[in-house]
């Protein structure tokens, strides 16, 4: 793999280079960011360097970008029957005010959490020639590995490799999963899907609806499992682990390891989401903000790159992208009134994701496109 020109683009266009060719060279190596680190690089390739205006406007790891007055809520899900009203109220506040929260005592054993992180790391640390069999950008392939989903249409590449597993609604043949992580992915996927059902019930009640309302809208039907691998970066101030974005799904449940680096944008300040032992991070997706008519907030977030690593995280997305849905999504009728008219027009799943994919990873939400112009 030949990726040249580390550091040169920071000073503008003084060095001419063929970006597309460098992207292709990186992609065709099938070695990912980990391959660069294994090769012993000391400067990051140009394709990963953030544009000069980004670097000038963001001090990255500086405390100036982080509002320490705000913390991400932590919700204890124990005794969910006896104290249900308290749990619903906590979820409502978090979903309406921050869009992110952490849950503890969620029913998934700490052993399972430790095993899934270890298995995710185990896959990404397989020999390149073994991982290469899974390297693909084919949307129909249920199990695949790549570096940067939006590699060819993002402003800069992220310092991250990813494995993707489409777990539902159609059953996944276990033989498609890498042996190093097969059994634990199946176990964790079942447990996190069960937790998702519980959270959708609480979120439904938080909207003043019956517990099964969001489930009846197929919010929990599609289930996608990812593992992100963020190698240690020699120049973390020049790139990002994951660029700013919001999730185009209904709900995301994320497990992160002890390294951290996740930040949430709140009132123009980034808030750190610190690792909490045994906790899972939950965030509202764009589609849930749309159908809640802006009651719940899908907020932008990012992951910093770091000298320390590798960092591993395991997000599970509840998304309708994985099956041929006939659903039309718009603000839930029961939430509308004369004082609360619909903010968004109705859209099919196909229309929503076609717009999301077409606009690319431009660090802007897909939601404004579907808002009524008033």
Average of per-residue pLDDT across 350-363: 82
Confidence (pLDDT) at 63 = 38
Confidence (pLDDT) at 64 = 42
When comparing pLDDT for 11 and 136, which is higher?
Answer: 136
When comparing pLDDT for 227 and 54, which is higher?
Answer: 227
pLDDT digits (tens, 9 = 90+) for 146-200: 999 989 988 999 999 999 999 989 889 999 999 999 999 999 999 999 999 999 9
Confidence (pLDDT) at 216 = 97
The CATH topology of domain 21-370 is Jelly Rolls (2.60.120)
Distance CA 98, CA 95 (A): 6
Distance CA 150, CA 156 (A): 9
> The pTM is what?
0.92
Check pLDDT > 90 for residue 314.
yes
DSSP H or E stretch at residue 242: strand 242-245
Beta strands in 269-326 (DSSP E): 269-272, 280-284, 301-303, 311-318
Structure-block tokens of residue 93: 């506040």
Q: Which of 10-19, 24-33, 194-203 is least confident?
A: 10-19
Average of per-residue pLDDT across 100-116: 98
Distance CA 143, CA 177 (A): 7
Mean pLDDT of all residues belonging to the chain: 91
Question: Which residues 6+ apart lie within 8 Å of 332 measured at CB?
Answer: 207, 209, 213, 217, 291, 292, 293
Confidence (pLDDT) at 374 = 64
Confidence (pLDDT) at 153 = 86
Question: Which residues 6+ apart lie within 8 Å of 143 measured at CB?
Answer: 134, 163, 164, 165, 166, 172, 176, 177, 178
Q: What residues does 164 pair with on adjacent strands?
A: 144, 226
Check pLDDT > 60 for residue 68.
no
When comparing pLDDT for 91 and 65, which is higher?
Answer: 91
Question: Which residues 6+ apart lie within 8 Å of 51 measured at CB?
Answer: 155, 156
When comparing pLDDT for 369 and 67, which is higher?
Answer: 369
Check pLDDT > 80 for residue 361.
no
Confidence class for position 369, pLDDT limits 50, 70, 90: very high
Share of the chain above pLDDT 70, in %: 91
Tokens 């680190």 map to which residue?
37
Check pLDDT > 50 for residue 12.
no
> What does the buried/exposed string (b/e) look like for 49-82 if buried means 16 or more CB atoms within 10 Å of the residue's CB?
bbeeebeeebebeeeebebeeeebbebebeebee
pLDDT digits (tens, 9 = 90+) for 195-249: 999 999 999 999 999 999 999 999 999 999 999 999 999 999 999 999 999 999 9
Confidence (pLDDT) at 343 = 97
DSSP for residue 169 = S
pLDDT digits (tens, 9 = 90+) for 250-302: 999 999 999 999 999 998 899 999 999 999 999 999 999 999 999 999 999 99
Question: Which residues 6+ apart lie within 8 Å of 40 measured at CB?
Answer: none
Check pLDDT > 80 for residue 62.
no
Confidence (pLDDT) at 166 = 96
- Per-domain boundaries in the chain: 21-370
């Amino acid at each position: 793999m030949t990726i040249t020109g580390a550091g040169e683009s920071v000073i503008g266009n003084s060095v001419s280079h063929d970006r597309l060719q460098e992207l292709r060279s990186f992609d065709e190596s099938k070695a990912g960011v980990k391959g660069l680190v294994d090769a012993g690089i000391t400067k990051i390739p140009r394709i990963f360097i953030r544009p000069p205006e980004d670097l000038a406007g963001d001090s990255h790891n500086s405390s100036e970008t982080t509002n320490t007055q705000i913390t991400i809520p932590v919700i204890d899900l124990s005794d969910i029957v006896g104290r249900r009203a308290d749990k619903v109220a906590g979820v409502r506040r978090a979903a309406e005010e921050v869009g992110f929260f952490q849950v503890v005592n969620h029913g998934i054993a700490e052993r399972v959490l430790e095993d899934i992180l270890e298995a995710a790391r185990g896959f990404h640390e397989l020999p390149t020639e073994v991982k290469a069999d899974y390297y693909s950008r084919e949307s129909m392939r249920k199990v695949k590995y790549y570096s940067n989903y939006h590699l060819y249409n993002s402003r800069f590449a992220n310092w991250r490799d990813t494995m993707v597993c489409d777990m539902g609604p159609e059953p996944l043949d276990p033989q498609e999963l890498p042996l190093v992580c097969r059994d634990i992915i199946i176990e964790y996927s079942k447990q996190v899907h069960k937790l998702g059902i519980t959270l959708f019930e609480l979120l439904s009640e938080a909207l003043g609806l019956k517990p099964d309302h969001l489930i009846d809208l197929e919010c929990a039907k599609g289930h996608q499992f990812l593992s992100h691998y963020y190698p240690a970066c020699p120049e973390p101030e020049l790139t990002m682990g994951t660029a700013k974005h919001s999730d185009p799904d209904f709900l995301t449940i994320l497990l992160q390891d002890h390294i951290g680096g996740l930040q949430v944008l709140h009132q123009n300040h980034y808030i750190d989401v610190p690792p909490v032992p045994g906790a899972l991070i939950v965030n509202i997706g764009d589609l849930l903000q749309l159908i809640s008519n802006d009651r719940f907030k899908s907020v932008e977030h990012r992951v910093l790159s770091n000298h320390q690593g590798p960092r591993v995280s395991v997000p599970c997305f509840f998304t309708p992208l994985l099956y041929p849905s006939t659903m039309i999504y718009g603000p839930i009728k029961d939430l509308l009134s004369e004082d609360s008219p619909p903010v968004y027009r109705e859209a099919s799943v196909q229309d929503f994701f076609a717009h999301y994919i077409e606009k690319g990873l431009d660090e802007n939400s897909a939601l404004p496109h579907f808002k009524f112009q008033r």
